[in-house]
Amino acid sequence: MENIIEISGLNFGYEPGTLNLENVSFSVPKGCSGCIVGPNGGGKSTLLKLLLGLLVPTSGTLRIFGEKPENVRQKIGYMPQYHKLDAAFPVSVLEVALMGRMRSGFWGRYSKKDRIAALEALDEMGIADLEKRSFSALSGGQRQRVLIARALAGEPELLLLDEPTANIDPGAEEQFHGALECLRKRMTVLTVSHDLGFVSRGIDMVICVNHFVSIHQAAAFTAAEANAVYHHEVDMIKHTHHCFCNCSGGTCSHD
């Protein structure tokens, strides 16, 4: 099976003589769904920035689609934590989605193709009717889906999500998980999360990050293994989900 991500002997440190991530080696197959978990300060955000090409390894190799991350950003969709954005910025839902079409050499004018891609992404997330609404007027769950639409508008092959359910209510979280289940059917998705409940939601692999990185098959990931990563007792909670996206004409094979 083709690997989307290949990491070998990677070390990274923000300061000379100090390593925040050490001897990291793993691969992510095409079409795989993974969850990056670990304690605060363990290196989850650092690993995500390395995958985005925002940081460069101190040593070792990191390849995405066989290239350095900064060379294939057009194939990578990224959803940041919405609460880190300025929600009061005067921008519409469609304008946020169109940001996913920005490319090198962009001069501030979107093409008809760009607008069609952005509208299709909003429709896939079930929020096409909100295209003219202000982003600041939306609920937390709606904002999450707009940010996914922004990532999807760029037609990525790899989707990276940073704490996608942080600071949203349980009802919105269920809607988000339903949409995410549909996306996993057609692209490689990696999610950074503090919520170990993600592990039971259609995830194939668990990427545990705490200075070192260990890989586990989600189906066999146990509370004991989670405890070893977090260094304290944690709960593994199983969930059910409902699909709220517009996949396959309104029906989802995950339901």
Domains of the chain in start order, with CATH, are 3-18+28-250 (3.40.50.300)
- State the chain's mean pLDDT as an integer: 82
- What proportion of the chain, given as a percentage, has pLDDT over 70? 76
Q: Which has the minimum average pLDDT: 44-48, 118-122, 123-127?
A: 123-127
pLDDT at residue 242, rounded to an integer = 36
| CA–CA gap between residue 35 and residue 33 (Å, rounded) | 7
Locate 239 and state its tokens: 């969930």
Q: What percent of the chain has pLDDT over 90?
A: 49
Kindly report which listed range (18-32, 76-90, 142-156) carries the lowest average pLDDT score.
76-90
Tell me what pLDDT residue 186 has: 86
The predicted structure's pLDDT at residue 252: 38
42-46, 77-81, 90-94, 101-105: range with lowest mean pLDDT: 101-105
Question: 54 pLDDT band (50/70/90 cuts)?
Answer: very high
- Residue 228: pLDDT band (50, 70, 90) is low
Query: Rounded to whole angstroms, what are the CA distances from 157 to 1, 51, 108, 189?
Result: 15, 14, 24, 9
Position 227 scores a pLDDT of 65
Provide the pLDDT for residue 83: 57
Instruction: State both tokens at 240.
Output: 């059910």
Residue 96: count of CB within 10 angstroms of its CB: 23
pTM: 0.81
The b-or-e profile of 107-125 (16+ CB within 10 A means b, else e) is eeebeeebbebbbbbbebb
Kindly report the backbone phi and psi dihedral angles of residue 214, in degrees, each rounded to the nearest multiple of 5, phi listed first. Answer: -125, 145
Sequence-distant (≥ 6) Cβ neighbours of residue 41 within 8 angstroms: none
The answer to whether the CB of 3 falls within 8 A of the CB of 30 is: yes
Confidence band, pLDDT 50/70/90 cuts, at residue 247: very low
Res. 226: pLDDT tops 80: no
Please state, in angstroms and rounded to a whole number, the distance separating the CA atoms of residues 31 and 44.
21
